Structure 1
Amino acid sequence: MANKQVRLSTEELHELKQLMGALLAMLSFWSLFSLDVESMSMLLLGGAVALVAFCCPRWVARIPTLVWRWAGPVMLLLIGTDFILNIPEFIPPLVRMVVLLIIYRMLAPRNLREDKQVILLCLFCVVISGVLTVSLLFAVQILLFAPLAMALLFVICLLDRGKEAKPHVIDWEQFQWSSFIRRVWRVLDLRIILLCAAMFALVVAVSSLLFILTPRFDFNRAIPFLELSTQARSGFSEDVRLGDVSEIQEDNSVALRIDLPGMEAVSAAPYWRMLVLDKYSDGRFRVSHSLRAKPFRIFEERRELSSTALPLSQRRGELWTFYMEGGISRYLPLPGDYGLLRFQKLQNIEWVPEVKVLGLDSVGQNVFSYQVEDLKFNSRFAAGERERAILDSLPLEVESPVEGEEERLAYPLTTLELSMSAPSKDVLGVINQEISGGAELNAADYSRATTSYLWQHFAYSLMPDIEWFMGNDPIVSWLESGSQGHCELFAGAFILLAREAGFPARMVVGYAGGSWNTLEDYFVVRNRDAHAWVEIYDAEDQSWLRVDPTPGRGSSDPEMMVQGSMAFDSGWSAWVDSLRIQWYRRVVNFEQKDQVELAATLKDVLLDYYVAFKEGLSRWGLRLKSWLLHPLKLGSLRPLAMLMVGIVVLGAVWRGRYWLLGLLYRFLRRPKALDPVRRQAGRYMIRLKAKGIETEVMAELQALRFGPEQSLRVAKPVFIRARRALKR
């Protein structure tokens, strides 16, 4: 009896189409989760609805038809209201609108045009997420989306009944997952799967080639509304409260990835300096108003920023590339002096030369990369002209502003300001008397003595103990009653003590430490490395000296270079993170210069292959000419013998191909329908039928194809007669 080919019914194709649409919707909602567009509740709702529509389609079928009749006007009203309430914001309401449309199209009965709308809406979600975040996750999502969308389009084409086709209402009450999966599995054909895989590989290859050859196009500058901003982490903003930096240390995710000339280029104790906070009041450090505005802060649009702090003799052209994750801060890590800083494009920056701080105009959601030439790690930062002019001519004490005049003092006087009650100042004075013993100390000696005092009396902990005293400053209360504290408390206590002693001091926040990824050779800084430390003004050297009063960070002597062991990343997490750095190197940081270099490299490789091919042909031609001139020469007989052996082997394989295929299929235990004799008989039948040949051999071929299994010895005469019929 003939084996009938298994096919899905029209109802089953509609069911498959609806389920694949739910899968696409889940994938699109997943892609939008990486965007900070204030639509998390809407995305969670969409994901839950898509999951229910995929796992329990019977529930969707029970939605009354009246719902779809009123859904359109209600959605239009909601979308219009959302856009009006969020003016001038454009992206968040747009994302919510697309999510609502996907939910509606996913649940409601659909025709051909509406099926294509589902694919386009889901594609919009994946692409907009990729454009705005430029993350490695986007590459995974688009690789999942492409084959699923192609398969859905294939099913849609199978169900196409023309323009007059109406939406098909699926009878989900008879649906059973077990029988549906078995039917789909039986329909799957290995040849179709391999063909689709080959087509998908071709699409990926062509897309990669177009990516290399297409001129660079900056979406953010060409389409400004696509540049989304978000909020900085509280510990890396212009206003930091006690505990904000320590909260970041509980996060183990990567904050910075740095390509550098070599592992030896990293300092033994690297401090990735980001932001300077000069103003203090009631347990809160912040950037003063004077330091936020001109003349200290320069607002420019630059592609490059050069520095004169690094002498020409120390410039070697060593390149550092920073990749800072989105949502960290708008201030960039700059650990010290450098020769040249370069962005990928023209960038709006806020440059504060006096305090060596560089910021962007907003906090981006995607990875921000920039390059620095000849970067150094500074333990001292030279004071600016304004700082020297004011601080070197000051008396030891600066009067605190009266209430209501908190911004009367401008930078750098804010680094000496003590806005607190007289009892709190008295506590600081008593501690300073114990630290100095009445002797006059310079900045370095005072830093060493104060750090030793803090280490002797307090221990480090992310859970500080503070007993609050009425009328006292919170840091002063900790100095009186505490026994353990985090880095902000140690840094804050040092700053208040230094200011009371007459030394200008300011807080610095950023990262301290990191690890080395041995798989791709780059430096990794995680959010757990967030830290706060101090810079104290040294009038003798006219520079700001870095001091880290937190225990466990090295020596109490700020002038001593700390020798520490480098931490190394390995294992599964390091391997996954190495994929991200490759993505940032080859895709995120891929600009016109890299494009030209890669195109030139491809051209050179192709030319080398072409030259090698020509030389190979020339050598074979010379050998053939030599053999024709001396065919019986001993050296010429060897390649001739090898050629004859190869021809004999190929002929034997061709003549025994049916036997070899039969042996292979018996070894693989394939079904009888894939027997080589049956398959060859089917091929001859198709060719005879295509040419309109009706002979007696057709019946014999049908017997071989659909009848009992026959050996090659029985089938071979039939195949010979079929070939003769085709030749005639």
Structure 2
Amino acid sequence: MTYRDLLPRESLLWIFAAQLAVLLPHFARLPLWIVAGWIAAVYWRAEVSRGRRPLPGRAFKLVAVAGVLAGLVLSYRQWFALEPMVALLAVSFTLKNLELVTRRDAFLSLLLAYFVAATLFVFEQGIPHAVYGTLAVLVVTAALAAQPGGPSARPRRALGLASRLLAQSVPLMLLLFLVMPRLGPLWAVPQDSASASTGVSDSMSPGDFARLSQSDEPALRITFDGPVPPPDQRYWRGLVYSDFDGRRWTQGFGVDPREGGRVTWRDSERALPEVGPRYRYQVIQEPTHNRWLFAMARPHSETGGVGETADDRLVRSEPVYSRLAYDVHSWPRDSLPGEPALSEFERRRNLQLPPVGNPRARAWASRLRERGLSPGEISAEILGFFNESFTYTLEPPRLGRDSVDAFLFDTRRGFCEHFAGSYVFMMRAAGVPARVVAGYQGGEWVEGEQYLLVRQYDAHAWAEIWSAGRGWHRIDPTGAVSPERIRDGLQRAAADEFMREALLPVHRIPLLNRLRLQWDMINYRWYRTVISFDSERQQDLLRDLLGEISAPRLALLVGLPAAMALLGIWGWLWLAGRGRPLPPAERLYKRFCRRLARSGIERESGEAPRDFAKRVARERPRLGPMAASITTAYERAAYADDPAAMKQLRRLLRGFWPLVRRG
């Protein structure tokens, strides 16, 4: 290893800056010990560069690798998933600092930095993350440009060169984006099952939906091909709860596809009418880390990997780890043929109640059943009771052990889950099959882009009951207490309590609310234009550009812009070379080469100065020592920006010309 192979200190600082730039977005999701390990490795390597510590030995490295593997095993439950693989890449990136000695080590570390920068888009594909990822790549490229050290490591020079290189790559990037075959995205790799999910959960207990009402994060964006359903029909079903243990509602065994629930996939037949009233729309769903999707009643989707369940929902074959777009057709239930009779198993499932608990509610339901009322009349009695003396609130009081009794006869203040859960309990106790449905209701119409924006605070729970001849039909007990919640949304129904805990009440400031909608529209365009640019949209765009997709036309589409770009770069370099004066050291060295060429020793194209000096020593031994001294002075003047070397170069050249003349 020579001195020239070692890393200059300023180049080492650039490497640390590049590492920080690409690792910073991952600090929030990486285990704390990995972040602390990177800081410790950087500190150790900085101390080595100051001469205060030695590089770690082989035994220490083996212990560090063993400790890292043990830490990864303990930190992640599922090894062959996305998060542990990214963590392994970050750890490898960190450990490389312990042997960062030569320029080759720096080159490998910075190449690894490009991969770490790309992993940011595994988790997030929004506009801010795209901007940050571009800046991180700029810093890594600048670190590469700064590796020679000296003037090359100056921030303005390194960042300027990196900016020019990235700018020159933009046309090629756009061309490849348009014509390269669209493969499955990297973020389709399974992620760790321990990752937290967002939005509606697979269970419901009092207070769950009230907590969601404090979040204004987007959940769904829906565009319609044709008529838009009125506000009181915008129910986006996601889950059906059929099991009740006295306090918590869950899906129950045999409903979730992971537990044996039946799913009808796209390639199977389903008895749905080809014509008639229906809604056609596309849903863009935010990541939930769960498999359930959201759609209106009676949904059918032709999107790959999306299927329909027996209880009238959509599910995906894989969890939704990133934004997902899927097309849906929904038929109003009243327009479909009569429902088949409810099976005995489904009847028992949707009449299930715990053997004990909530005695007052059970007694009231028994009285309703003994009066011989029909399911519709029983429902009307319960809804009328809700309408008389109940309050819709985002801050319901805590309920005791018999939660249904406490809500119906004591507190009488609740959110949607209180009304839906107690209603279904009463209907079941009265002998009517019923179930709780969870999802979202309503949404905000964005006029600029013509789509419906559904936020987390639109989360809602309602009920469905079964009646002969009609089948399952929706009953929303919340509408009996607060009809404005269904008609105008949560913000109007609970204006005094809505988003009370928010640090900045955006919804109360018209200007900020408009800016928020504008930002959401920009994100919506970004997703539809860039993120969801799949093979089908690529084929449509190429047909619009070429008319017919063929090999010659594709070659012309790729080759012509590439040739024009190369010609433009060559012309720019040629003009820049002609118009820019040479540095003094370069100008003196070129005079030295021209004088030797006139005496018969011509420097070859691409020949390094030191190699040229060695050849001069072989062909003209008397000129060899002076040529070597001139070359050393030139390198120090040109690359180290040494004024003393510049003076020495001029002095050596003045003494060299007489030697050349004497031959």
Give yes or no for TM over 0.5: yes
Distance 1:15 1:252, change over 3 A: farther
Among residues 326, 331, 351, which one is paired with 2:292 in the alignment? 331
Among residues 288, 296, 302, which one is paired with 1:342 in the alignment? 302
1:256-275 equivalences under 5 Å are: 256-261=220-225, 264-265=228-229, 267-268=231-232, 270-275=234-239
Q: Deviations over 1:437-486 (max 9, x none)?
A: 98654444443432232243332233322453xxx632223323213222
Q: Deviations over 1:48-89 (max 9, x none)?
A: 669x869x9679958732656654112221244356666862
User: 2:461 and 2:447 mapped to 1: Cα distance?
Assistant: 28
User: 2:389 and 2:132 mapped to 1: Cα distance?
Assistant: 53
One-letter amino acid matched to 2:14: M
Q: CA deviation at 1:530?
A: 1.3
Whether contact under 8 Å (2:246, 2:403) holds in the other structure is yes
- The SS at the match of 2:462 is strand
Q: CA deviation at 1:143?
A: 1.1
Q: CA deviation at 1:495?
A: 1.0
User: 2:262 and 2:204 mapped to 1: Cα distance?
Assistant: 23
User: 1:62 and 1:487 mapped to 2: Cα distance?
Assistant: 67
1:223-234 equivalences under 5 Å are: 229=193, 233=197
Among residues 377, 383, 386, which one is paired with 1:451 in the alignment? 383
Whether contact under 8 Å (1:323, 1:368) holds in the other structure is yes
Q: CA deviation at 1:13?
A: 8.9
Whether contact under 8 Å (1:46, 1:99) holds in the other structure is no
Whether contact under 8 Å (2:365, 2:429) holds in the other structure is no
Among residues 110, 128, 133, which one is paired with 1:119 in the alignment? 110
One-letter amino acid matched to 1:447: S
1:576 matched residue in structure 2 = 519
Whether contact under 8 Å (2:199, 2:219) holds in the other structure is no
Among residues 61, 80, 84, which one is paired with 1:90 in the alignment? 80
Whether contact under 8 Å (2:287, 2:323) holds in the other structure is yes
1:680-719 equivalences under 5 Å are: none
- The SS at the match of 2:460 is strand
Distance 1:138 1:310, change over 3 A: farther
One-letter amino acid matched to 1:28: V
Q: Deviations over 1:563-611 (max 9, x none)?
A: 7799999533333333332232123322222111212333369x9xx9x
One-letter amino acid matched to 2:523: R
Among residues 381, 386, 393, which one is paired with 1:461 in the alignment? 393
Distance 1:481 1:61, change over 3 A: farther
1:398-417 equivalences under 5 Å are: 410-417=345-352
One-letter amino acid matched to 2:363: G
Distance 1:233 1:458, change over 3 A: farther
Among residues 535, 541, 545, which one is paired with 1:598 in the alignment? 541
Whether contact under 8 Å (1:460, 1:550) holds in the other structure is no
One-letter amino acid matched to 2:325: S
Whether contact under 8 Å (1:519, 1:578) holds in the other structure is yes
Q: CA deviation at 1:510?
A: 0.6
Among residues 417, 424, 441, which one is paired with 1:495 in the alignment? 424
Q: CA deviation at 1:93?
A: 3.8
Q: Deviations over 1:525-548 (max 9, x none)?
A: 111211111112233523323323
One-letter amino acid matched to 2:316: L
- The SS at the match of 1:216 is coil
1:362-373 equivalences under 5 Å are: 362-372=318-328
User: 1:126 and 1:563 mapped to 2: Cα distance?
Assistant: 44
2:433 matched residue in structure 1 = 504
One-letter amino acid matched to 2:251: V
Distance 1:293 1:132, change over 3 A: closer
One-letter amino acid matched to 1:74: V
User: 2:583 and 2:23 mapped to 1: Cα distance?
Assistant: 50
One-letter amino acid matched to 1:411: E
1:213 matched residue in structure 2 = 179
Whether contact under 8 Å (1:381, 1:544) holds in the other structure is no
2:607 matched residue in structure 1 = none
Whether contact under 8 Å (1:231, 1:327) holds in the other structure is no
2:629 matched residue in structure 1 = none
Whether contact under 8 Å (1:234, 1:245) holds in the other structure is no
1:211-360 equivalences under 5 Å are: 211-219=177-185, 229=193, 233=197, 236-261=200-225, 264-265=228-229, 267-268=231-232, 270-292=234-256, 297-299=261-263, 302=265, 307-310=270-273, 312-314=275-277, 319-327=280-288, 329-338=290-299, 340-343=300-303, 345=304, 347=305, 351-353=308-310, 355-360=311-316
Deviates more, 1:263-272 or 1:537-546: 263-272
User: 1:555 and 1:442 mapped to 2: Cα distance?
Assistant: 28
- The SS at the match of 1:342 is coil
Bigger Rg, structure 1 or 2: 1
Instruction: Please tell me whether residue 26 in structure 1 is matched to residue 20 in structure 2.
Output: yes
One-letter amino acid matched to 2:184: D
User: 1:60 and 1:476 mapped to 2: Cα distance?
Assistant: 72
Among residues 353, 356, 367, which one is paired with 1:418 in the alignment? 353
Deviates more, 1:129-138 or 1:140-149: 129-138
2:495 matched residue in structure 1 = none
Whether contact under 8 Å (2:358, 2:403) holds in the other structure is no
Distance 1:575 1:60, change over 3 A: farther
- The SS at the match of 1:291 is coil
User: 1:341 and 1:140 mapped to 2: Cα distance?
Assistant: 34
Number of paired residues? 546
Q: CA deviation at 1:157?
A: 4.2
User: 2:546 and 2:438 mapped to 1: Cα distance?
Assistant: 48
Whether contact under 8 Å (2:205, 2:248) holds in the other structure is yes
- The SS at the match of 1:454 is helix
Instruction: Please tell me whether residue 146 in structure 1 is matched to residue 140 in structure 2.
Output: no
RMSD of aligned Cα (Å):
4.7
One-letter amino acid matched to 1:485: G
Unaligned ranges ≥5, structure 2: 493-506, 557-578, 596-663
- The SS at the match of 1:411 is helix
- The SS at the match of 1:506 is strand
Q: CA deviation at 1:33?
A: 5.5
TM-score, with structure 2 as normaliser:
0.69
1:100 matched residue in structure 2 = 91
Distance 1:213 1:260, change over 3 A: same
User: 2:364 and 2:136 mapped to 1: Cα distance?
Assistant: 68
User: 2:26 and 2:455 mapped to 1: Cα distance?
Assistant: 24
Distance 1:49 1:365, change over 3 A: farther
Whether contact under 8 Å (1:534, 1:548) holds in the other structure is yes
- The SS at the match of 2:308 is strand
User: 1:491 and 1:267 mapped to 2: Cα distance?
Assistant: 19
Q: Percent identity?
A: 20
1:510-549 equivalences under 5 Å are: 510-549=439-478
User: 1:74 and 1:228 mapped to 2: Cα distance?
Assistant: 27
Q: CA deviation at 1:680?
A: 12
Whether contact under 8 Å (2:114, 2:137) holds in the other structure is no
Distance 1:102 1:679, change over 3 A: closer
1:203 matched residue in structure 2 = 169
User: 1:247 and 1:681 mapped to 2: Cα distance?
Assistant: 67
User: 1:24 and 1:295 mapped to 2: Cα distance?
Assistant: 46
Among residues 397, 403, 410, which one is paired with 1:474 in the alignment? 403
Distance 1:443 1:33, change over 3 A: farther
User: 2:289 and 2:376 mapped to 1: Cα distance?
Assistant: 33
Q: CA deviation at 1:508?
A: 0.5
Q: CA deviation at 1:121?
A: 2.6
1:649-660 equivalences under 5 Å are: none
User: 1:678 and 1:112 mapped to 2: Cα distance?
Assistant: 30
Unaligned ranges ≥5, structure 1: 1-9, 160-179, 391-409, 611-676, 694-728
Q: Deviations over 1:292-326 (max 9, x none)?
A: 479983246x45677544551336xx752222122
Whether contact under 8 Å (1:236, 1:510) holds in the other structure is yes
Whether contact under 8 Å (1:466, 1:477) holds in the other structure is no
Q: CA deviation at 1:213?
A: 0.4
Q: CA deviation at 1:290?
A: 4.0
Q: CA deviation at 1:146?
A: 2.3
One-letter amino acid matched to 2:301: L
